[in-house]
Amino acid sequence: MTDESADGTADGATAVNPDTGRPVGSGRHQGHVTEHNQASQPDRGQVIALTVRVCADWSLRFIIIVAALAILLWLLGQVWVGVLPILLALIVATVLWPVVNAMSRRGVPVALAAAVTLLGSVTLVVGVLASIAPSIVNQTREIGTAAAEGLDEVVGWLSGPPFNIDNDQLDEGLDTATSWLTERSGDIASTVFAGVGVLGSGLITLGLVLVLTFFFIKDGPRFLPWLRAVSGRRAGRHLTELLTRMWRTLGGFIRAQAMVSAFDAVFIGLGLLLLGVPLAVALAVLTFFAGFIPIVGAFTAGALAVLVALVSNGWQTALAVLGLVLLVQQIEGNVLQPVLQGKTMKLHAGIVLLSVAAGGTIFGIIGAFLAVPVAATLAVLLRYVDEQFDLRTGDLSATDHTYATPEGALAARRQQAIGRWTRLTAHRRAERATHEDPSPDGVADRPGHASAPPEADGSDSGPAEGSAPGADRSTVGRAAADGHQDAPDTDEAPRTR
């Protein structure tokens, strides 16, 4: 048997440093190694200070972003009167542009195609509203009479068991309500006049929307070339790809939502006609327009249909209408929307509901209508930024994605080239730092024995072609700033040795 020394090694054997795998010397050299290892180990206080500094940096960035968003919302509220017609015109233009494009391809002048399409659309909407107006006027009286009869039934029901409320108490309650309305007649009149002002402002907004829509569908194809000329080659490519994706997403959402709303309106309207509910056609038209506000609009229109059926036909018909509305909305939500909107919006139902709630709270019914299109376009923006990060870090190749425009493909190849250049520069700097820094045993690493970068832990086969490891998404912004300054202005990947 061999005797073991105090350090756990056999006699005659050489102790090995577990960190480096090299023999541990003795005397002054061993002391030097111990002191160097202790000096190279980070102190606990330094680690805590670094963590606190990183948290403070990100907290400051978060505060700045929140403040910028608050200022942006405030500015948007100040110029909302001018922004609203532009947003509405863009939404209408996404619906009418395919028709104008098809007519222009068949030789029709663009201006004539835009005018015919816009006038035809306005005529169609006005014709539908004019056709249902007489039925609304006539059947509203019937609903009023039925509501009065229903109120008498409610009064008789309250005067009987188990409530046993006598007529004097009911008359006193009615007198109190009448006096309350009389005292607030001035407020009601001012509200009516304010409503007239809102109606006038709405007509002006409608006129602006029609004029802007005409110019959008007439001169829309000229916008992106002009934007590229103004913003420059690099930014113009990104803006062209991003805005084209937003336009397609917005147009796909509006067309898909129109199909879903038409499905709801047709089947709910037929059910109301078969059940003999008054204002069936008007309720169907209201269901169609309310369907453009996802989730909330369909719920509101369905609740109004149930209420009309309850007042006019009784609770049995109201229950039948409720079942009809739930059935149609279940088919719409579980079959139509995933098929029609799954590839265009890619938004979770919770995000849609929160967007509608936030838009309705801040900007009213118009905000609820615009909430989902705005959320969809913001989602496109976030996905595009995420894609650029993946191209910079090497997690995504320019050939792994389908682009909406040729400019988007050029921008992606340039981002990939910048990412390769940045990673290569970072790797060379790390190599230089390694060559200058002595190893723990006091001997500098030779170029042929340079230590691997932090990410090369054996799990990867090596750096990508023309690239070097050592960069991730958390540091790509800072590293890319240096690499972007040194990267060549080319659409192809830089040549590396």
pLDDT in tens, 399-443: 888 888 899 899 899 988 888 888 888 888 888 877 765 544 444
69 and 144 co-located in one domain:
no
Sequence-distant contacts of 298-304: CB under 8 A, at least 24 apart: 298/264, 298/329, 298/332, 301/264, 301/268, 302/268, 302/326, 302/329
Cβ neighbourhood burial of 376 (10 Å; 0-12, 13-18, 19+)? buried
pLDDT value, residue 147 = 66
346 and 386 co-located in one domain:
yes
- Is residue 203 one of the residues assigned to a domain? no
Identify which of 253, 343, 265, 321 has the alpha carbon closest to the alpha carbon of residue 297: 265
- Is residue 54 one of the residues assigned to a domain? yes
**Could you give the count of Cα atoms lying within 13 Å of 379 in the half-sphere of its Cβ?**
19
Cis peptide before 23 (omega within 30 of 0): no
Q: Which of 29, 55, 74 is the last residue of a domain?
A: 74
154 and 57 co-located in one domain:
no
Any residues with CB less than 8 A from the CB of 79 and at least 6 apart, and which? none
Tell me the two tokens of residue 125: 């909407």
Classified as helix, coil or strand, 355 is helix
pLDDT in tens, 376-403: 889 899 999 999 988 888 888 888 888 8
What pLDDT band is residue 65 in, cutting at 50, 70 and 90? Answer: very high
d(CA 143, CA 283): 13
pTM over 0.75: no
- Is residue 66 one of the residues assigned to a domain? yes
* Polymer length in residues for the chain: 497
Beta carbons within 10 angstroms of residue 355's beta carbon? 22
Domain extent for 68 = 44-74
- Is residue 251 one of the residues assigned to a domain? yes
Q: Which of 393, 427, 456 is the last residue of a domain?
A: 393
Q: Mean pLDDT in the chain?
A: 75
64 and 136 co-located in one domain:
no
Q: Are 218 and 110 in contact (CB under 8 A)?
A: yes
Phi, psi of 462 (to 5 degrees): 145, 180
- Is residue 398 one of the residues assigned to a domain? no
Cβ neighbourhood burial of 468 (10 Å; 0-12, 13-18, 19+)? buried
231 and 308 co-located in one domain:
yes
**Could you give the count of Cα atoms lying within 13 Å of 180 in the half-sphere of its Cβ?**
6
How wide is the angle at C-alpha 356 spanned by C-alphas 212 and 299, nearest 5°? 110
pLDDT above 50 for 339? yes
64 and 95 co-located in one domain:
no
- Which of 87-91, 391-395, 473-477, 486-490 shows the lowest mean pLDDT across its residues? 486-490
pLDDT above 50 for 225? yes
Query: In total, how many domains does the chain have?
Result: 2
65 and 148 co-located in one domain:
no
pLDDT value, residue 366 = 81
pLDDT above 70 for 220? yes
- Is residue 59 one of the residues assigned to a domain? yes
- Which of 17-21, 146-150, 184-188, 335-339 shows the lowest mean pLDDT across its residues? 17-21
477-489 burial string, b = 16+ CB within 10 Å, else e?
eebbeebeeebee
Q: Which of 393, 427, 457 is the last residue of a domain?
A: 393
What is the mean predicted confidence (pLDDT) over 321-340? 82
pLDDT value, residue 486 = 44
pLDDT value, residue 496 = 36
56 and 91 co-located in one domain:
no
Any residues with CB less than 8 A from the CB of 275 and at least 6 apart, and which? 309, 313, 317, 320, 321, 324
- Is residue 204 one of the residues assigned to a domain? no
309 and 372 co-located in one domain:
yes
pLDDT value, residue 432 = 83
pLDDT value, residue 133 = 78
237 and 258 co-located in one domain:
yes
d(CA 376, CA 346): 8
- Is residue 134 one of the residues assigned to a domain? yes
pLDDT in tens, 164-208: 666 666 667 766 766 666 666 555 555 555 555 566 777 888 889
pLDDT value, residue 154 = 67
Identify which of 299, 297, 301 has the alpha carbon closest to the alpha carbon of residue 371: 297
257 and 303 co-located in one domain:
yes
Which of residues 240 and 350 earns the better pLDDT score? 240
Percent of the chain having pLDDT more than 90? 12
237 and 254 co-located in one domain:
yes
